[in-house]
């Protein structure tokens, strides 16, 4: 996770990006940059990203990789394949 934090910290040096947060599938904030708003929950970020706001833009992307110790979760919409 320390490497991921380094990547986040480097990315926000771009003046177009203010903050980055990483949420778990159950909505817990796992990692964030220093300027990530304390009051912005993962649920609020998802709701805000869905609205058209010309002053604030929040992008949401789903990741398919797992963090160490996290259980595997099958992406929604994918059929289970029998072996």
Q: What pLDDT, on a 0 to 100 scale, did the predictor assign at position 83?
A: 45
At which residue do the structure tokens 């010309």 appear? 54
Note whether residue 78 is domain-resident.
no
pTM, rounded to two decimals: 0.63
Across the strands, what pairs with 21? 32
32-79 pLDDT per residue, tens: 999 999 999 999 888 888 887 666 777 777 776 666 665 555 555 545
- Of 40, 33, 31, the C-alpha closest to 58 is 40
For residue 64, the Cα-to-chain-centroid distance in whole angstroms is 12
**Residue 34 belongs to what domain range?**
2-50
In a domain, 66, yes or no: no
Residue 24 inside a domain? The answer is yes
Whole-number Cα distances in Å, 37 to 21, 34, 60, 64: 9, 8, 16, 25
Residue 15 lies in a domain: yes
């Amino acid at each position: 996770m320390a490497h991921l934090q380094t990547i986040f910290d480097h990315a926000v040096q771009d003046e177009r990006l203010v903050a980055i947060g990483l949420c778990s599938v159950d909505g817990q904030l796992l990692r964030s940059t220093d300027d990530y708003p304390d009051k912005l929950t993962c649920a609020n970020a998802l709701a805000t990203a869905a609205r058209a706001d010309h002053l604030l833009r929040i992008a949401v992307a789903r990741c398919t990789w797992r963090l160490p110790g996290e259980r595997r979760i099958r992406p929604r919409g994918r059929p289970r394949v029998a072996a």
